[in-house]
Structure 1
Amino acid sequence: MNDGEILFKKPTYPINNSLAEYLKRFDRISKVPIYYDDLLRFSGFINVYDKQEVDTLWIRVYYNEFERNEIDLTLKKIYSLLHSDGNLDIIKFLNVDSIDYCTFGNSKPFRIKVRNILNDNYTHFYVKKADASRVYGLELEHILSPDKINFLVYEETLVEEHIMGIPGDVFIKTLLEDCSDTEKSQIAKEFVKFNERCMIRLLGDMRAYNYVIVPIHDFDQVVYRIRPIDFDQQCYEGNFKIYRPQFFKENYPMVKLVKDKLQESSIEQYKNEERAVLAKRILSAETRIKRLLKIMGQDLIAPDEHVQQLKNDLYKYTNDLNFKNAKRMGNVLTAAFRFVTRNFKNANLFKPGF
């Protein structure tokens, strides 16, 4: 299970002009100036603890009065852009309850809690350093996932909406054991599909704390979905196993669940279902994806040795020569998408018509 180990911290890759133009074309550029570095100028902080009084490694930060007023106004405007049409009339009904700073991980994000003072409903969003890998990951999630995601970029700053759900590590530790057999089988099915989805789109580092479990109440049951929440490792690592959640030791309880609850034939069925769904989404958004992949294919978002290792691993896995010809990570992902859509089209050629 340790074959999926990540050895080095990933560097931040800048957003190039082509990607910036793409983001502008699809309304991902913030109209409100916001800078990550401005939030770093806090004057004090306290530690944030969870309900069990365990240190979360987040700190709640404070600013002097003049800076706090300016920061609060900017964050309210950003909230309006992210969740509405940017109408500033709603600002008078909003309050920035807290600004928390994460002291670990690559992105070191700020978590902003905004509350509607009329009804006490609140939501969160995150402010991070903009990174090309993360932006590509977010955009691919928006296009290829059934769950759309909002984010904005302003120069070197990235704003992401909060993805709701139970952190995978928390779910595994506190809730998984109490699930019914039917629920465990359904979770195992979802993990197989999640594993396949991450592998095909080359989203890495899906350890348990980098995805959430989303329980959905149907009329006679609870079904579960798995969503990634960290897109830092989109098309970066060279080790193919990094893109397969099954190889992280943190996910061993989920892997064991799959082995205990699903037969090999069912596992293959769910893999095929997920490939077919992804192929349909790729084909339905073909123009937008081609535009994005062209930019990725010209962008430097990983060292050459990572590209060489990954394309060789994928060639061994698929025997597809298109991987051999890839020069950048964007080309590797293009080959992966072509492999999936080509097999989907070929499979449909042999299906009987009406």
Structure 2
Amino acid sequence: MSESSVLFKKPSYPINEFLLEYLDRYDRISTVTVFYDDLLRFSGSIVVYDKNDHDTLWVRVYYNEFERAEIDLNLKKIYSLLHSDGNLEIIKFLNIDAIDYCTFGNSKPFRIKVRNILNDNYVHFYVKKADASRIYGLELEDILSPDKINFLVHGDTLIEEHIIGIPGDVFMETLLTKCTETEKAQIAKEFVKFNERCMIRLLGDMRAYNYVVLPIHDFDQVVHRIRPIDFDQQCYEGNFKIYRPQFFKENNPMVQLVKSKLQASSIEQYKNEERAALAKRLHSARKRISRLLHIMSNDFLAPDEHTEKLKMELFRYTNDLNFKNANSMGDVLEASFEFISRNYKNANIFKPGF
């Protein structure tokens, strides 16, 4: 597959008033007045290395003492909003251990390390430039995935909680071969479901470094979950393959695992299970999804040529006229959800992918 279309930097799309109203309705608006641009006013930085002395592409930034005090206080307030519904009593127990800045990728985020001084437990969250695409992706992840994610918006600033896990590329390079055969079969199953979920909800560019693998101990076994961590490519690309993780060369170890561990009938079974789960989530959150899709349908999220290309590829893939009649990326996504809701019990909804 040609990946040229994802090599160019995707533009950042503004948040329109209707999306802001939606975010306010569902308590996604932060009352803390800290902006991404405030954090850009650092005085200097040092490179952050990992335990093997490799450059992490993050730099640790520092500020003059007057700005740092105000920034720290506001970051503690943001933590309290994310994790304790704004309870300011906890602030006296918090310390901002580090503020790191990443120059790699589209969003150029700040990573905040917050430590509880009573027990040294710590968590991270991120401060980024708000982008409508990413916000739609985060909201869809929270509603439709097996996992929840918390985020807040303040003006043109996005605050996003950290998603724990091992980056997919690191997992495949260092841990996959050490898994038992049973664990490998379970990982293959999870990748099939992850691939299906990304395809249906049109979350693109899930190369190995854009998702994490989370090992979970369950009685006498370890099961693995796969979660996306980058949502910039929600409903943007025109090439349908970009919404299917199986087609990225970086994911070849996962694809080969699926082929070696799962029979075709099992692959179809797991795809059907994921469609059924998505259909149930769509049904249970239908009012919220309807509001979100209405806003997306009237928002500009991709160049017209991307929308035209994607809707026709999906029409040829499914023979569903709703795709052909779509006028925006939001319409394309709505057609995808309607297709799944109507047909999730049919074992032949989508053609075999592996």
Shorter chain as denominator, the TM-score bin is: over 0.9
SS in 1 for 2:53: coil
Q: Spell out structure 1 runs of 4+ moving beyond 3 A.
A: 1-5
Q: 1:1-354 residue pairs with structure 2 within 5 A?
A: 1-2=1-2, 6-344=6-344
* TM-aligned CA distance change 1:146 to 1:4, over 3 Å: farther
Q: C-alpha distance in 2, partners of 1:284/1:136?
A: 18
Q: C-alpha distance in 1, partners of 2:34/2:64?
A: 18
Residues 89-138 of structure 1, C-alpha deviations (whole Å, 9 max, x = no match)? 11110000000000110000000000000000000000000000000000
SS in 2 for 1:222: strand
- Give the CA deviation at 1:34: 1.4
Aligned-residue Cα RMSD (Å) equals: 1.1
SS in 2 for 1:153: strand
Q: C-alpha distance in 1, partners of 2:45/2:179?
A: 39
Asked if structure 1 preserves the Cα contact closer than 8 Å seen for 2:272 and 2:345, the reply is no
- Give the CA deviation at 1:2: 4.3
Asked if structure 2 preserves the Cα contact closer than 8 Å seen for 1:236 and 1:329, the reply is yes
SS in 1 for 2:115: strand
Asked if structure 2 preserves the Cα contact closer than 8 Å seen for 1:311 and 1:326, the reply is yes
Asked if structure 2 preserves the Cα contact closer than 8 Å seen for 1:205 and 1:243, the reply is yes
SS in 2 for 1:226: strand
- Give the CA deviation at 1:30: 0.2
Residues 28-68 of structure 1, C-alpha deviations (whole Å, 9 max, x = no match)? 00011110000000001000001110000100000000000
Q: C-alpha distance in 1, partners of 2:346/2:317?
A: 19
Q: C-alpha distance in 2, partners of 1:207/1:62?
A: 32
> Unpaired segments of 5 or more residues in structure 2?
348-354
- Give the CA deviation at 1:7: 3.5
Q: C-alpha distance in 1, partners of 2:143/2:337?
A: 13
Asked if structure 2 preserves the Cα contact closer than 8 Å seen for 1:126 and 1:159, the reply is yes
Q: C-alpha distance in 2, partners of 1:276/1:8?
A: 35
> Unpaired segments of 5 or more residues in structure 1?
348-354
Q: C-alpha distance in 2, partners of 1:37/1:344?
A: 45
SS in 2 for 1:137: helix
Letter in 2 for 1:313: E
SS in 2 for 1:136: helix
- Give the CA deviation at 1:6: 1.5
Residues 169-195 of structure 1, C-alpha deviations (whole Å, 9 max, x = no match)? 110000001111110111001000000
Asked if structure 2 preserves the Cα contact closer than 8 Å seen for 1:95 and 1:114, the reply is yes
Asked if structure 2 preserves the Cα contact closer than 8 Å seen for 1:4 and 1:242, the reply is no
Letter in 1 for 2:42: F
SS in 2 for 1:177: helix
- Give the CA deviation at 1:3: 5.3
Which residue is 2:352 aligned to? none
Q: C-alpha distance in 2, partners of 1:271/1:346?
A: 11
- Give the CA deviation at 1:87: 1.2
Letter in 2 for 1:330: G
Asked if structure 2 preserves the Cα contact closer than 8 Å seen for 1:4 and 1:247, the reply is no
Percent of matched pairs sharing the same residue: 78
Asked if structure 2 preserves the Cα contact closer than 8 Å seen for 1:2 and 1:247, the reply is no
Letter in 2 for 1:25: R
Residues 60-90 of structure 1, C-alpha deviations (whole Å, 9 max, x = no match)? 0000000000100000000000111201111
* TM-aligned CA distance change 1:36 to 1:164, over 3 Å: same
SS in 2 for 1:327: coil
Q: C-alpha distance in 2, partners of 1:86/1:6?
A: 38
Q: C-alpha distance in 2, partners of 1:185/1:72?
A: 45
Q: C-alpha distance in 1, partners of 2:302/2:3?
A: 20
Asked if structure 1 preserves the Cα contact closer than 8 Å seen for 2:5 and 2:237, the reply is no
- Give the CA deviation at 1:345: 6.5
- Give the CA deviation at 1:8: 1.6
Letter in 2 for 1:23: L
Q: How many pairs are equivalent?
A: 347
Asked if structure 2 preserves the Cα contact closer than 8 Å seen for 1:206 and 1:245, the reply is yes
Q: C-alpha distance in 2, partners of 1:3/1:152?
A: 32
- Give the CA deviation at 1:308: 0.2
Q: Which segment drifts farther, 243-252 or 336-345? A: 336-345
Q: C-alpha distance in 2, partners of 1:270/1:17?
A: 39
- Give the CA deviation at 1:257: 0.6
SS in 2 for 1:91: helix
